[in-house]
Structure 1
């Protein structure tokens, strides 16, 4: 089954004392110790980011690793990726992420992995990259649309409540048809897709939400109910 879990914000990098979203991701693999690989391309392989990944996941029941395109662990990236159970993509500059992935053929490899049942997950840039389009600050000042991998239909906007300009910017882009209608994610929210359908919305914060954002004579924002993982087992 093809699965993607996209987070608007949260996880080990934003909520170091709140493991709910990361544990939810791990729990989707029916193995005692799943293999989870971090891809920090969007951050330029920031050492501190990689360290925080290992600080958290080394304490969990899993086998963590990371893939650097600046210091590749192997020439056979396809085999390396296909041996994983989960690919977890970090945040940062989406434009640079997409450019480097295409240069290394990683976009094709990740699509193959997805089709073969490897779970794809990520936060911020690592969330919007899976959609047709996303809202990004990769170009400098301001928020703009960016064409992404197109594994999932529509557009995605992360940090919907976490950055003051995200909500108005995304709604304006949708209103002017500068970007497709899509889904907006508060910090602390993840959308879980099975095949191409939205299976579940989960949150690590009680008030965090996801929304469908579309234009029907005016911008329409439809809240999608989220399951707060703090009150239920993260299954």
Structure 2
């Protein structure tokens, strides 16, 4: 069982179709776990304020923020885990260093939903070097992501001007790329990938770029 939502990294208005989808999928008796650790700790309070405001407007109020991934927490009380944006290298380091990657995969296998926004989406892909705007301050050498999106890497905040960088990335790393604009995203259920949002997503392979519009099923 695999339930993933990936957002391209826009504002709450940009991601509203994806946020509404998340709310519709969470069972009534379950909470939403928010993980902001891609951001700096000083920003956690403002992150929570923004996050709570966004989802309260959609009717979801039972929200818990987790900032220490080593903390013992019963994930069975949650219907979904939301990993927010920030520095992708910091997020991957936090997930690995704490052992939370194993917990995430177990949560997925138990039927839970994982939502990744921007950095949170990129770590769900095969490799995080697509986060070309982020500084690798932690010095991560192994940039392997969780590889939950059919062997593809994820590129967020996509603009047409990024095409050359994406093809260069593919040439170097031999990994296909799914590029998400700030107004687009994906819903991944097992091996089925559907476009959700206001704009298309783009699938890049060697020398090829394909467009998939909202509501379309992505063929890799």
Name the TM-score, length of structure 1 as normaliser. 0.79
CA–CA distance in structure 1, aligned partners of residues 14 and 100 of structure 2: 32
Which portions of structure 1, spanning 4 or more consecutive aligned residues, are displaced by more than 6 angstroms? none
1:24 equivalent to 2:15? Answer: no
1:214 equivalent in alignment to 2:208 = no
In structure 1, what is the Cα distance between the partners aligned to 2:209 and 2:14? 31
Alignment CA distance shift 1:212-1:110 (3 Å): same
- How many residue pairs match? The answer is 206
Q: In the TM superposition, what whole-angstrom CA distance separates every residue of 1:164-184 from its partner, at most 9, and x where no partner exists? A: 75333112211x232501211
1:6, 1:192 within 8 Å by CA — same for their partners in 2? yes
- Shifted more, 97-106 versus 177-186: the winner is 177-186
Gap regions ≥5 residues in structure 1: 229-235
Q: Which residue of 2 aligns with 1:56?
A: 54
Query: Please, which of 75, 80, 103 is the counterpart of residue 97 of structure 2?
Result: 103
Q: Which one of the candidate residues 157, 160, 167 is aligned to 1:159?
A: 157
RMSD: 2.4
Aligned to 1:185: 180
Q: Is the 8 A contact 1:43 1:92 kept in 2?
A: yes
Paired residue for 2:144? Answer: 147
Whether the 8 Å contact between 2:116 and 2:124 is mirrored in structure 1 is: no
TM-superposed CA distance for 1:53, in Å, is 0.3
Once residues 169 and 59 of structure 2 are traced to their aligned partners in structure 1, the CA distance between those partners, rounded to angstroms, is: 42
Residue 5 of structure 2 corresponds to which residue in structure 1? 5
| Higher strand proportion | 1
Unaligned runs of at least 5 residues, structure 2? none
Hey, what's the Cα distance between the residues in 2 that align with 1:168 and 1:181?
Answer: 14
3-state SS of 2:173 partner: coil
Shift of residue 9 of structure 1? 2.1
TM-score, with structure 2 as normaliser:
0.84
Secondary structure in 2 aligned to 1:41?
coil
Contact 1:26 1:34 in 2 (8 A): no
Return the alpha-carbon distance in structure 2 between the equivalents of residues 172 and 113 of structure 1: 35
